[in-house]
Amino acid sequence: MCPSPSRPASSETKRQPVRVVACPTCGKPVKWAPESRWRPFCCERCKLIDLGEWLSDPDEKET
C-alpha cells in the first residue's frame, strides 16, 4: 500500500479569469480573448500606429 496523496478529483471546471493586457499604444485594457482580434492592441488603429512608429526610424540624421 503506498499512501499517495490522492487529490480529490474536482469535477468543477476551473474558471479561468479573463486575462487583460494593456494596449502597447494607448494603454487601454485589452481582453486577451479570441474576440479581441487586434490583441495585444485594443484596435486596428493602435496596431497600425505601433507599426508606423516601428517602421519610421526616429534616428534621422540626414541633412
Interface positions with Zn ion (CB under 5 A): 23, 25-26, 28, 42, 46
What is the C-alpha separation between 10 and 8, in angstroms, rounded?
Answer: 6
Residue that has been written with the C-alpha cell 487529490 in this structure: 7
**Residue placing its CB nearer to Zn ion in the complex, 9 or 18:** 18
CA–CA separation, 16 vs 38, rounded Å?
A: 21
Q: How far is the CB of 42 from Zn ion (least distance, A)?
A: 3
Nearer CB in complex with Zn ion: 21/26? 26
Task: Tell me how far, at minimum, the Cβ of 23 lies from Zn ion, in Å.
Answer: 3
